Amino acid sequence: MIDLAQLVLYLDRYLRVQDVPDAPQALNGLQVANSGRVTRVAAAVDLCEAAVRLAAAEQANLLLVHHGLFWGGPKPLTGPTRRRVAGLLEADIALYSAHLPLDLHAEVGNNIVLARQLGVTVCGEFGEEYGVRIGVWGELDAPRAVLEQTLRTVLGVQPRVMPFGPERVRRVGIVTGGAGSMIAQAAAAGLDTYVTGEGAHHTFFDAEELGLNVFYAGHYATETVGVKALAAHLEARFGLPWTFLHHPTGL
């Protein structure tokens, strides 16, 4: 057991939530408090009604998420928003959200963790969002088909492949989530392959015309790795048991 305020202070410092720029709507940090104690952690990609129900069923009293309550700005507490908040309060579950601070974290971040899982030797950063570099790039000497298979194994999804770069992959960039818009930045960084979650229709032509291998492995799937790593870190640090709440969107 740990005091919620103590744990939030640790998370804020560990994730540098006050230092990492992000969309104003992200509201990183504690979004909903509980009665003051944490004994069990649940981790999920998205805050939704299903995640709240699953967390309550697991008797968790802290829910860690990547996408929190407040996307799109303030909302009235009606409909699904009211039910999400009411479910948290009724089950005495605190909600902590970390978006870009979790994406770019050097130890438990989505990008660095996925790079390790893919066998990429990280060499540096690339890809700017809100004035900060959020992606990682590194070296991997493998056929493109092997990287595709590794993504399938690691994430449990069939990635969408745009095979416009070399058949043998050597310089790989990773920005999880919906970062298809960063294909041009990946090419400018001298990469031959780029892994992200999803992108708009026109990004096919960006990949084709810039000569880049691009893997779309799913917004949800690519962002499961960070919250899992963060929850595992809290278990190692504070002895808090945790569980991952799997509610895939297929997107």
Identify the structural domains of the chain with CATH numbers, from first to last. 2-99 (3.40.1390.30), 110-219 (3.40.1390.30)
Interhelix angle 224-238/110-118, nearest 10 degrees: 100
Query: CA–CA separation, 168 vs 145, rounded Å?
Result: 9
* pLDDT score recorded for residue 98: 98
What number is the average pLDDT over the span 140-161? 98
* pLDDT score recorded for residue 70: 86
Asked whether residue 173 carries a pLDDT value surpassing 90, the answer given is yes
113-126 CB burial, b ≥16 within 10 A, e <16: bbbbebbbebeebb
| Contact between 248 and 222 (Cβ < 8 Å) | no
Question: What's the one-letter identity of residue 52?
Answer: V
Could you tell me where the beta strands, DSSP code E, fall in 205-245? 213-216, 242-244
* pLDDT score recorded for residue 241: 98
> At 144, is the pLDDT very low, low, confident or very high (cuts 50, 70, 90)?
very high
User: What does pTM read for this prediction?
Assistant: 0.96
* pLDDT score recorded for residue 214: 98
| Contact between 240 and 4 (Cβ < 8 Å) | no
pLDDT digit string, tens, across residues 185-237: 999 999 999 999 999 999 999 999 999 999 999 999 999 999 999 999 999 99
> At 25, is the pLDDT very low, low, confident or very high (cuts 50, 70, 90)?
confident
Q: How many CA atoms lie within 13 A of 116 on its CB side?
A: 10
pLDDT digit string, tens, across residues 48-77: 999 999 999 999 999 999 999 988 777 889
> At 164, is the pLDDT very low, low, confident or very high (cuts 50, 70, 90)?
very high
What number is the average pLDDT over the span 30-49? 98
Asked whether residue 38 carries a pLDDT value surpassing 90, the answer given is yes
pLDDT digit string, tens, across residues 75-104: 889 999 999 999 999 999 999 999 999 999
Query: CA–CA separation, 164 vs 203, rounded Å?
Result: 12
What number is the average pLDDT over the span 6-30? 95
Query: First-to-last CA distance in the chain?
Result: 36
Query: CA–CA separation, 210 vs 199, rounded Å?
Result: 15
* pLDDT score recorded for residue 24: 85
